[in-house]
Amino acid sequence: MKKIFQVLTGLTLSVVAAASLAAGFPDRSVTVVVPFPAGGTTDVLARQLGKGLSDKWGVPVVIDNKSGASGTIGSAYVARSKDDGYTLLLTATHHVINPTLLKDTIAYDTKSSFTSLALVATVPNVLVVNKNFAPKTVSELIELAKSKPGEINFGSAGIGGANHLSGELFAHEAGIKLTHIPYRGAAPSLSDLLAGQIPMMFDSLPGVMAHIESGQLRALGVTTSSRVAQLPNVPTIAEEGLKGFEATAWFGLYGPKGMSADVITKISKDVDQVLASDELKKSFASLGATPGQMTQLEFAKFVDAEIAKWGNVIEAANISVK
């Protein structure tokens, strides 16, 4: 009986300690690691979210850029960090692509090494073509590609990136063969698209919107599940016949594995409140981004589903960075 009492007492103290930790969280500065250089979309979103959380929590939220190796250096740092919620990770779609693409070199298990906390933002991608490229619709593009297997090129910012894999997913689901032309970054690939050196590319809407408006590029379809406000007359690729097609760029917030349930709930709820603020919505809109709208559990399931989805795309297309 005494032993049972001791066990129950221990469990009670543990519950009280966890509740106390969440009630006092955070009582000092929180670090959000961005595994990419300063100035990029991930970094800007992190700084905007960090400001909102700092105002809410009354403590500094420090953005720490630890870039390199397609986001895995900063991610590995967070995976090794203490699980108290004071070191977090804000990263892009690379998080769910790297487990398959870099499976031989990655230093952590993405599914088991992190706690998925919140979907921070989504950014629409769009299939754009050079103004002189013949197809005017997604259907016409697919028809042309079927008549010329492997002869139509599409560019991207590099092998294994979200825009490269969007093209591979499109080709796979359309039953066509396209030839991928990788570049060292978004700027050179866009330059060649504008010059007509490549006919098509998937890119984030903010990156190509000005060229669509100028008429230098034509938007054939957006990769989101519904049309986007900036391009109301451009159909989704799903509307054009590829039912269920979706390849949205998104950004998530994570912590190390082992975080207490109370701290997880505290962080995810506070992030949701910040994301719902008019100020942050306006800031995100300037980047073409929409604040995330998932519960913490929904986001955790979404991350696992995305790892499986992009893993299948990488394996089906036999993509390798070697």
Instruction: Write down the pLDDT at residue 2.
Output: 55
- Owner of token pair 């403590």: 59
- The three-state secondary structure class of 128 is strand
How many CB atoms are located within 10 Å of the residue 311 CB? 16
pLDDT confidence of 1, banded at 50, 70, 90? Answer: low
Domains of the chain: 2-122+250-317 (3.40.190.150), 125-222 (3.40.190.10)
Mean pLDDT of 251-267: 98
pLDDT tens by residue, 161-211: 888 999 999 999 999 999 999 988 888 999 999 999 999 999 988 889 999
**pLDDT tens track for 34-70:** 998 888 889 999 999 999 999 999 999 999 999 988 8
Cis peptide before 26 (omega within 30 of 0): yes
Query: What pLDDT, in 10s, does the model give residues 62-109?
Result: 999 999 888 999 999 999 999 999 999 999 999 999 999 998 899 999
> What are the C-alpha distances in Å from 114 to residues 6, 253, 256?
32, 10, 4
Task: Give every CB contact of residue 213 below 8 A, 6+ residues apart in sequence.
Answer: none
Indicate the angle between helix axes 2-23 and 261-275, nearest 10 degrees: 20
